Structure 1
Amino acid sequence: MEWVYLIVAGFLEITWAISLKYTEGFTCLLPSLFTGAAMLGSVYLLDLSTKSIPIGTAYAVWTGIGAAGTAIMGMIWFGEPHQAMRLVCIMLIIAGVIGLKINI
C-alpha cells in the first residue's frame, strides 16, 4: 500500500506545481487553497509511504514523479519547449524512478 501512497503523492506534487501558476503569488483565494491542499496531501502521503519504503528512495521517487510530470504537463498545458534533449532527460528521470521501484 505504501507504493500506492507514494505514487499518489507524486501526482499531488504535479498538481500543486501546476496549480501554483494560477495562484498569482497566492493572491487568488481558490487556486491558493487548492495548491495548499495538494501540497499538504502530497507531503502527508509521502510520510505514510516511508513506513516501509526507505526515505531516500521515497523522496527520490516523489520528486522524480513531480519533476517529470510537471515538465510534461508544462509542455502540454503551457506550450513550454519540448526539444528532443529535454524529452530524453525526462525519460532518464522516469527510468531512474522505475529503477528505484524495481530494486526495492
Structure 2
Amino acid sequence: MKLSEGFSKLIPSVLIFVFYAISFFFFTLALKGIDVSIAYAVWAGLGTAFITIVGIFWFREPASALKTISLVVVVAGVIGLHLSDKVT
C-alpha cells in the first residue's frame, strides 16, 4: 500500500487488489481443512509478522528489541493456537 502512494500510482494500486484477491482465495481453500479460528490466526498473525519484516528490510524501518520480541510473541501465539487445536 505504501508504494501506491495513496492509490495515486496505478500499478501498485492494482497489485494491492490482485494480491488481496489471491490471499482471500487461499484463505478460503485453507478453511476447507482447518478451523476458522486457526486459519484466521495464521493469516493475521503471520501476515503481520511478514509485513513487519518487509517494512524493516524493504522500507528501512527501525528494528528495535521490543519490535523483535513482539514479533516472536505473535508467531508463538499462532503456533500455540495451532498446537491447542491438536490437544483437544
TM-score range, shorter chain: 0.7 to 0.9
Match in the other structure for 1:65: 46
TM-score (norm 1): 0.75
Q: Which of the residues 64, 68, 73 maps onto 1:87?
A: 68
Residue 60 of structure 2 aligns with an amino acid whose one-letter code is G
Moved over 6 A (4+): none
Q: Distance in 1 between matches of 2:60 and 2:11?
A: 24
Gaps of 5+ in 2: none
Q: Which of the residues 27, 49, 53 maps onto 1:46?
A: 27
Gaps of 5+ in 1: 1-19
Per-residue Cα deviation, 1:53-84 (whole angstroms, up to 9, x for no partner): 11111001100111011111101111212111
Percent of counterpart pairs with the same letter?
A: 38
C-alpha RMSD of the superposition? 1.2
User: Number of aligned pairs?
Assistant: 85
Match in the other structure for 2:4: 23
Q: Which has the larger radius of gyration?
A: 2
| Alpha-carbon shift at residue 98 of structure 1 (Å) | 2.1
Q: Which of the residues 32, 38, 44 maps onto 2:13?
A: 32
Q: Distance in 1 between matches of 2:11 and 2:58?
A: 20
TM-score (norm 2): 0.87
Considering Cα pairs closer than 8 Å and 6+ residues apart, tell me whether 1 or 2 has the greater RCO.
1
